[in-house]
Structure 1
């Protein structure tokens, strides 16, 4: 699986006015509707439901919200860089500014796990994260995320 398989160039955004997780999930719902044609209400509810199980912040300013739901045919991702970091209940107490959201069909199984592993591996790369934080151009952000394509998935 390649990052370019799950991350459309139009699914990358920089947000300046995001003040809460709820606002972020609404922005992700709108992005999912615009890029993937998904029902934003379903996306928002699925992300909130998953977040209620436990925070998806993984530390070092990164969050990987993800959800499975009906009405989607394949795993897809969205990347958001926040200009102002947001409290996300991370274990390391650091606010989040890099968010990679994954949406998957209920029956995605291994594909969902492979995508999550790929995104996690990419976002653990400190060099990539530094470059993502230093850039506001969405095309450059997409290129940074997809430039180190790999077929290896955990």
Structure 2
């Protein structure tokens, strides 16, 4: 599995600021609706439900919100770069400026976990995150994310 299998170019956005975690989830849901035809309200509720189990901020300014949804047949992703970092309740208490949301079918099983592991491994690379933060253009962000995966796969 590669990032390009779960992330479409139209699912990459730069957001000026989000006033709260819920507002960020609403922004992500709007992108999910546009890129993947996911119901925005259901998407927000699913993200909030998952987040109530524990924060998905994994540290170093990165969050990996994720949820399982009815009505989709494969794992899909949304990448968001925040120009103004947001307090996310991350494990290291650092504000988040990179969020990669994943949505999986309710019965996805291992595919959801593989996608989550892939994104986590990819965004653990500090040099990659530095490049992402330095390029606030959605097309460039998509290229960085998908080219990086090609290099890792080689």
Q: Map 1:38-117 to 2 at 5 A.
A: 38-117=38-117
Q: Which runs of 4+ in 1 moved over 3 A?
A: 150-153
Distance in 1 of aligned mates of 2:46 and 2:75: 14
Partner of 1:12: 12
Which residue is 2:3 aligned to? Answer: 3
**Match in the other structure for 1:134:** 134
CA distance in 2 between partners of 1:38 and 1:98 (Å) = 21
- What is the deviation of 1:149? 2.2
Question: Is the 2:17–2:85 contact (alpha carbons within 8 Å) kept by the matching residues of 1?
Answer: no
Matched-pair contact (CA < 8 Å) for 2:30–2:40: yes
**Structure 2 regions of 5+ residues with no counterpart?**
none
Q: C-alpha deviations, 1:59-85, integer Å up to 9, x for none? A: 000000000021111100000000000
Give TM-score scaled by structure 2 length: 0.96
Shift of 1:2: 1.1
1:141 counterpart SS class = helix
Contact 1:2 1:151 in 2 (8 A): no
The structure-2 alpha-carbon separation of the partners of 1:77 and 1:88, relative to structure 1 and needing over 3 Å to count, comes to: same
What are the ranges of 5 or more consecutive residues in structure 1 without an aligned counterpart? none
Q: Distance in 1 between matches of 2:151 and 2:32?
A: 25
Matched residues in 1 for 2:80 and 2:96: separation? 11
Q: Which has the higher helix share?
A: 2
CA offset at residue 17 of structure 1? 2.9
